[in-house]
């Protein structure tokens, strides 16, 4: 299938946020490109199996003792483009990630270990390492302390070989921040911090941030593409944007255009920095199908960069299945809660809740359709069912699924967001059959590991505008026609 393409709109207005104050209604609109590449897989089953394995690996490694973040794994996620520097500016594509708090680029010379096959070059434009000419960050800076997290600025300056008498008088500004190690669930890197001009030429209007702090990595393990961290941390893109313009940095949202694993997306998904309100024409056109429903953000002392929320229950049809207490809150050790993540594909629930949900689902669908155990083994999804030859209306017959979040916030998922239909067979003259699988995953026993016990994946977020309100500390969901929303906002 054709590889996803970047959509670009050209604007000739640049905003220098260090000197211009924007109105509260001002927004910046960026295109997110879906980077799913089917060329690496020989069947839908193979692609689904790879995706379920990647989602499970990311989730379970995140719950181990070492501190990790959730990256956007190559092959099934979303990218955006930046330009760094000004002499000349260099454009590079990064994964957009709400599960980490660092913006980093691969820099020349760049060595990537175990990176073969990690992404399809045809699906990601401008992945090449950049030639760096930026200024290093001082060991005394707040950014340096944030990158190292456990060391004081005096410790960091000692590592940077600043003399003792200079440390004592706090005059180590000329000594660079030492290299730091940053771990993701399926990779890691060593980087140094630098500052330079960051521009987003594909935003509307275009954006330039002076003195932007970022990581420059010369070596990485299984991470060939840089990441734009949108998590809760001082080094994230929203946090640095908020330092210049709180109106833009204190809220962002995205609306992921619906896709399937056998149908790539060629339309951009809107990423919106700042607040906006729908005008009457837009409401009448139907881009805005519902108002936002909000749930509070939960603080996690061990993983402070996560957008954690509480899930109270899941309804399957008319049956409401209560969630365990660990999914409703985060304790003082950082255990519990559900992470709203742009980088994990499928939603993951703790075993007790997952088993109850799929049991209820199987009772209803299994009365009509035969269980497809072989498909479950091939895809990693379960339960799966044989739907017959002509099942275009089968999604309407599966039970409705509603997520009930803390704060009296309920989100009804469209059927295509949790029940995936595709053709099985057809090879070597075999008869093709339509099958359908539930796209929720078992996260295991919450007591066996530490950290978050659930994840809301990006596939279940499709067709919703998901807003991260950092000022009011809440996450909101609203049904949207995401392609129409892009067109409407892009024409303002």
Distance CA 295, CA 404 (A): 10
**Catalytic status, residue 341:** yes
Residue 246 and residue 115 in contact, taking contact as beta carbons nearer than 8 Å: no
Distance CA 9, CA 269 (A): 13
Cis upstream peptide for 79 (omega within 30°): no
DSSP 136-163: EPBTTSHHHHHHHSSS-HHHHHHHTT--
Residue 246 and residue 472 in contact, taking contact as beta carbons nearer than 8 Å: no
What's the Cα-to-Cα distance from 15 to each of 28, 32, 204, 223, 400, rounded to whole Å?
10, 20, 10, 32, 45
The catalytically annotated residue of 77, 97, 101, 424 is 97
Q: Residue 102 has what DSSP assignment?
A: -
CB-CB neighbours of 223 under 10 Å: 27
For 312-338, what is the HEC assignment? EEEEECCEEEECCHHHHCCCCCCCCCE
The three-class DSSP label of residue 430 is coil
Q: Which alpha helices (DSSP H) does 163-294 contain, by range?
A: 164-168, 237-244, 246-249, 280-285
The catalytically annotated residue of 101, 186, 196, 341 is 341
CB-CB neighbours of 17 under 10 Å: 18
Residue 234 and residue 141 in contact, taking contact as beta carbons nearer than 8 Å: no
- Residue indicated by tokens 């969901």: 477
DSSP 15-27: EETTT-PPPTT--
**Catalytic status, residue 97:** yes
Token pair of 272 as six digits: 């919106």
Which residues pair with residue 311 across a beta bridge? Answer: 405
Distance CA 322, CA 248 (A): 37
Catalytic residue positions? 97, 341
């Amino acid at each position: 299938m054709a590889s996803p393409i970047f959509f670009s709109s050209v604007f000739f207005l640049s905003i220098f946020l260090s000197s211009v104050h924007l109105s509260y209604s001002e927004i910046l609109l960026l295109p997110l490109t879906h980077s799913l590449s089917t060329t690496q897989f020989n069947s839908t089953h193979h692609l689904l199996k790879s995706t379920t394995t990647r989602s499970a690996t990311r989730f379970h490694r995140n719950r181990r003792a070492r501190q990790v973040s959730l990256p956007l794994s190559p092959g099934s996620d979303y990218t955006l483009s930046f330009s760094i520097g000004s002499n000349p500016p260099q454009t590079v594509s990064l994964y957009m990630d709400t599960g980490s708090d660092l913006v980093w680029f691969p820099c020349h010379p760049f060595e990537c270990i175990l990176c073969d096959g990690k992404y399809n070059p045809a699906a990601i434009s401008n992945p090449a390492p950049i030639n760096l000419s930026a200024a290093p960050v001082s060991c005394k800076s707040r950014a340096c302390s944030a990158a190292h997290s456990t060391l004081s600025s005096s410790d960091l300056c000692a590592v940077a070989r600043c003399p003792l008498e200079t440390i004592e008088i706090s005059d180590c500004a000329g000594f660079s921040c030492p290299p730091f190690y940053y771990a993701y669930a399926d990779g890691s890197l060593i980087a140094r911090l630098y500052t330079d001009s960051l521009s987003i030429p594909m935003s509307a209007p275009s954006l330039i941030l002076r003195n932007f702090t970022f990581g420059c990595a010369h070596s990485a393990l299984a991470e060939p593409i840089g990441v734009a961290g949108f998590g809760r941390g001082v080094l994230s893109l929203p946090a640095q944007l908020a330092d210049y313009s709180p109106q833009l940095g204190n809220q962002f949202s995205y609306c992921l255009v619906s896709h399937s694993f056998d149908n790539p997306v060629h339309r951009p998904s809107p990423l919106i920095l700042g607040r906006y309100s729908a005008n009457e024409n837009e409401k009448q056109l139907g881009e805005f199908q519902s108002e936002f429903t909000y749930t509070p953000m939960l603080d996690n002392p061990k993983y402070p960069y996560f957008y954690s929320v509480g899930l109270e229950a899941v309804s399957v049809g008319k049956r409401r299945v209560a969630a365990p207490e660990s999914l409703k809150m985060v304790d003082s050790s950082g255990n519990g809660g559900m992470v709203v993540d742009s980088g994990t594909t499928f939603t993951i629930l703790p075993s007790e809740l997952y088993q109850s949900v799929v049991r209820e689902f199987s009772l209803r669908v299994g009365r009509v359709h035969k269980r497809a155990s072989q498909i479950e083994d091939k895809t990693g999804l379960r339960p799966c069912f044989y739907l017959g030859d002509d099942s275009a209306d089968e999604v309407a017959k599966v039970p409705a699924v509603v997520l009930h979040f803390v704060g009296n916030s309920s989100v009804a998922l469209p059927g295509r967001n949790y029940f995936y239909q595709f053709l099985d067979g057809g090879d070597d003259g075999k008869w093709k059959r339509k099958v359908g699988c539930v796209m929720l995953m078992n996260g295991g026993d919450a007591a066996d590991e530490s950290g978050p016990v659930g994840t809301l994946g990006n596939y279940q977020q499709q067709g919703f505008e998901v807003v991260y309100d950092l000022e009011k500390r809440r996450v909101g969901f609203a049904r949207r026609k995401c392609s129409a929303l892009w067109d409407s906002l892009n024409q303002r």
